[in-house]
Every structure is written in structure tokens, then in C-alpha cells.
Structure 1
Amino acid sequence: MNETPALPPGWRSTGDPDCGLQQRTAYQLIRIGELLMAGAEDTLRTAGVRPRAFSVLSALVEREGSSQQELSRRLGLDPNVMVGVIDELERSHYAERRRNPADRRSHRLVATEQGHELLKRGDRLLDEFEKTYFGSLSDEDIEVMRRLTQWLLDSWRPREGGEQA
């Protein structure tokens, strides 16, 4: 690995890396997640959207015509939270609810042209943010990190009966 990445402007160090919890991998991953979430929030704020809404919009574009329930399951969001996020996207004209022709009691969700534009802009902004944060890592280091974190996420998915994998 290359040298430790410099913190983006305005970010503080997490303290002495040889002290207490900071030696634990789980704590370090939590702290990295907090830093990345704060950076993503700041980055996406310039596009006028919150990370959760951006995530839902992204999933919606990948699975155009999904129901709220389908998106809720896919993203692991509580259905009540999903309703609020879709309401927010609809108020901002980034998504629309359309009646499902096969079942008039349900709606299919579609991204509007504005929603597609927001997704492109947000992706560009997040790409720039990630380049800043991970800039001192090699492409190989980043790929190893992606594989390891995906493996950890996959192994934590619940099994039948509520047990973790």
C-alpha cells in the first residue's frame, strides 16, 4: 500500500491510532464509514439531494418500474422510510409514481428526465470525491478493498430464520 491518504480539507484526524478502540478493525471501518458518509453528504448537498434519496434514485434507475416494496427490500430500507424518500423525490420532480396497469392498487416508480440528470451529476461529483479520498491508493489497493468489503457485506446478510450468514 502507498502512504496514508491525506484527509480532505476541513476534516480532522481521528486521534492516536495506537490508542484503545482505534486499534480495532471494526472501529476503524465505522470511522471510515462516518467520514465517507459526511463527505458524500457534503458532496451531494451541492447537487441538492441527500445520500438516501440519491441511493433510492440510483436503484430506481437500475430497476425502472419497480414498486416501493421492491425497492425497500432491495435497499434494506424500512417501507415507511421508503415512502418518505419517494415522496421527497416526487416533490423534487426526480421520480414519479405511475399506476401499475397489471394491478391498479399498486404503483410503479420511474425516474423523470430531471432524475436522470441528477443521477449523472451526482455520480460525477461522487467520483471526484472518491478520487480525493482514495487518491493515494493504487487501483490494485482499491480493488482489494472493494472485494474485501463486498465479502464482509455478503457474509453479514441474514440467513433464513434471522441468523447471519
Structure 2
Amino acid sequence: MSSAPVPAPRPSPAEDAAGQSAAETLKDDFAWSLSVILRAYLRSVEESLNDIPGGPRGYQVIASASQNLAANQGVMASQLGIDRTVLTYLIDDLEAAGLVTRQPDPADRRSRRVVATEAGQALWQDRRNALAHAEAHILSTLGNEESTFKELLKRVAVYADRGDPLQNTCQAVESVESACQAVEGVKDACQAVESLEKDDDRRLGVKRRSPRRD
């Protein structure tokens, strides 16, 4: 597969004039600028990603798994901004395609890490080069300002990601789940101790007094 970008068809004079008019009118519209850039980028990479289960989202999962960026599926969902239920089905499809696999986390056997297979690693490297070419094509208008633009964009993205209420909520839920699991573990241990004490009492014929309630 060639990684060279497909040149976009040139618009007619009327379309070009209309586009320039819209751009001039909306030049200070932040949302419009972002949506235009995103649409152009997705059009450029569509051919490179449409055969991957989940398309661009599937590629993001493979990229994360190839670089070991997420300790478990919950962290990956927060990092990629994908609903945890949706991510589960997406990983199922990628696993069926032989691109990723789930492995127990050595630090926590209850947690599952998503790891790229050799085929997944090779696909990530191949499509990564194609996406870099598409990115360079879109940013070519910036010339020497490209690196400055990308640095500023990264700074905004990191700031926005920290303030993402969905991610904060997911992290809070994970913390609560971990605390609940710890409490359950303590409860199970206490019940086991109580059971042993009762067994000992029965063997020794000891009758425990119930705690007094005032």
C-alpha cells in the first residue's frame, strides 16, 4: 500500500469563492476551525484505517497497546475517551482479528492489560507512517511554524484532557471500585477469622458471651 496522499480534486471557481467567503466569515470560530481540520485529516487517513476493526478508534487502541500506554482497560478507556463498554466490544473485535490480546496484569491479577500482537505491532508501524504523511500534507501550509503549532496544540490537548469531566468521573469510579474491593477483602478475612473462632469454640466447648448493649 502506497503511503502517498491522494491529491484532493480542485474546486470549481464558484466553489472556491464560496469556500473563501465561508472561511472569512468563520475565521474566528474555534469550533469551525477544529471541525474543518478534523474532517480533512479523517478524509486523508480513511483509506489507511478503514480495514481495521473500529477504524480510527481501533487504530488508537492498537497504538496504545503497541506502546504499553495503559495499565488496564479502564485506563485505556479514559486515555482514549472511549466508553468502557464500547471499548470492550472493540477489543473483542481486534482480538478476533489477531491484532491485540488480553493479558493479566502482573501487579493485579484481577486487571487485564491490552497488548499488541506481532501482527498488531507491524500494522501500527505501517499505518503510523501513512498517517504521518497525511499529517505533513495538512500542516504543510505552516512552513517553519509547524513545530510551534504542534507544540501549542499539544499543550491545549493536555490541558483539556486534565479537565475532562468524563475522565475525572471514570477515575473516581475506579477509585471507589478499588476501595470496595479492598473492603470486601477485609470483610472476607474477618468472616474467615470468625468462622475459625467458632470452630475452635465448638471443639473446646467454650460458649462466647454476646456483646452487651446498653
Shorter-chain TM range is: 0.7 to 0.9
Task: Looking at secondary structure, tell me which structure has more helix per residue.
Answer: 2
Please give the alpha-carbon distance, in whole angstroms, between the structure 2 residues aligned to 1:108 and 1:92.
Answer: 17
Correspondences of 1:49-128 after superposition (within 5 Å): 49=52, 50-63=55-68, 66-100=71-105, 103-128=108-133
Give yes or no for contact 1:99–1:108 (8 Å, CA) kept in 2. Answer: yes
Please, which moves more after superposition, 53-62 or 100-109? 100-109
Equivalent of 2:155 in 151, 156, 159: 151
Residues 112-160 of structure 1 deviation map (CA, whole Å, 9 limit, x = unaligned): 100000001111111222233223432x311111122122223323178
Say whether residues 1:18 and 2:17 are aligned partners: no
Residue 74 of structure 1: how far off its partner (Å): 2.1
Rate the CA distance shift 1:42–1:76 in 2: closer, same or farther, 3 A: same
2:8 aligned residue:
9
Residue 66 of structure 1: how far off its partner (Å): 3.0
Secondary structure in 2 matching 1:18: helix
Q: Taking CA–CA contacts closer than 8 Å with sequence separation of 6 or more, which of the two structures ends up with the larger relative contact order?
A: 1
What TM-score do the two structures reach when normalised by structure 2? 0.60
Aligned length: 151
Structure 1 runs not aligned, ≥5 long: 1-6
Please, which moves more after superposition, 79-88 or 151-160? 151-160
Q: State percent identity of aligned pairs.
A: 26
What TM-score do the two structures reach when normalised by structure 1? 0.76
